[in-house]
Amino acid sequence: MIVQPTPENLARAGAALRHGKLVVMPTETVYGVAADAWNAEAVMRIFEIKERPRENPIIVHVAHPEEAQNVAAEFNEAARRLTERFWPGPLTVVVPKREELPKEVTAGASTVAIRMPAHQVALDLIRACGCPIAAPSANRFMQLSPTSAEAVDARIAEHVEFILDGGPCVVGLESTVVDLTDETPRILRPGGVSRADIEACLGTSLGVLPPGALRRSPGMYQRHYAPRSRVEIVDVAPPGSAALVFEEPSSERQIKMPLDAAAYGAALYRALRTLDMLEDEVIYVEAPPDWPDWEAVYDRLRKASAHDHGSLAS
């Protein structure tokens, strides 16, 4: 049930979470399906309704940087610097986990991914619940993340108490996930905060992931963020095809995308979702510029166009 985030509805949603129920919440990146992070049973239901592999850990959302200490065993200098600079915002830090945090949240890992979202409704919900919130994107495994309340997967909608409508997500791509458990910080998933901004904040270069390293990051798959139609990245889309284009569209089956990385990212999932409804065999995507600020967009386009269904990236 989609509801407006009135104070009454936020209070009801917070109480539902405290009682072990699930709620869909908006964030600035994508909509997430939320559970009380301390409630292992509720967290397990998230895995079930998303059909999410058990080895894929979930991000914990807090309403204040200090609340990170409740789930993290240790917050090093890099974590402090990054969160001071980018929270609230689309940055997730991976740090050692507190023993007491249910292992279901972190899929058995000794680390926990934490972020403070920059969306008033998400922050209000965390405060109403009174607990940190475990929340993956509110889509089924491998599929496109929802960037509006209406885009939340129907099966997920059936199993939650409320879908809080926070309007369209302004970032539109998931958060940047940075692993801070090693001496050298590394990006596990590019996202709303750019590599250049993270490096500028830390004053060091981020490490590169060695080949095979994605295995260290459970839940990073070659194919992901994918519509049902096959996605092909091309220089110029065939006339009349279902496509994301940069020039004037040749038909109403094409969507003109902005030539700005942030605006493109904000529009991408909605555009792919719209073209997916045409049920064509292929959605063509004109290749964006190969510039550093397009890293997150490229990551999602590569994963959406990958043919590999479900095996771990190696």
Task: Give residues in contact with ligand TXA (CB under 6 A).
Answer: 27, 29-30, 32, 56-59, 90, 92, 94, 106, 109, 111-113, 115, 117, 135-137, 174-175, 177, 188-189, 217-220
Element (H, E) at 61: strand 60-61
Tell which residue, 90, 232, 115, has the closest CA to residue 173.
Answer: 90
Tell which residue, 139, 111, 161, has the closest CA to residue 52.
Answer: 139
Minimum gap (Å) between residue 56 Cβ and Mg ion: 9
Which of 137-145, 194-202, 232-240, 274-282 is the region at the interface with Mg ion (rule: CB under 5 A)?
A: 137-145
Q: Which does 188 bind (CB under 5 to 8 A by kind): ligand TXA, Mg ion, none?
A: ligand TXA
- Identity of the amino acid at 124: D
Residue 113 · residue 174 · CB < 8 Å: no
> Which lies closer to Mg ion via its Cβ, residue 83 or residue 137?
137
> Which lies closer to ligand TXA via its Cβ, residue 91 or residue 275?
91
Q: Does 217 bind Mg ion (CB under 5 A)?
A: no
Among 92, 137, 147, 194, which residue interacts with Mg ion (rule: CB under 5 A)?
137
* Contacting residues for 7 by C-beta, under 8 A, at least 6 apart: none
> Which lies closer to Mg ion via its Cβ, residue 37 or residue 128?
37
Strands 186-189 and 176-179: antiparallel
Q: Which does 57 bind (CB under 5 to 8 A by kind): Mg ion, ligand TXA, none?
A: ligand TXA
Residue 34 · residue 135 · CB < 8 Å: yes
Chain residues in the site for Mg ion (CB under 5 A): 137
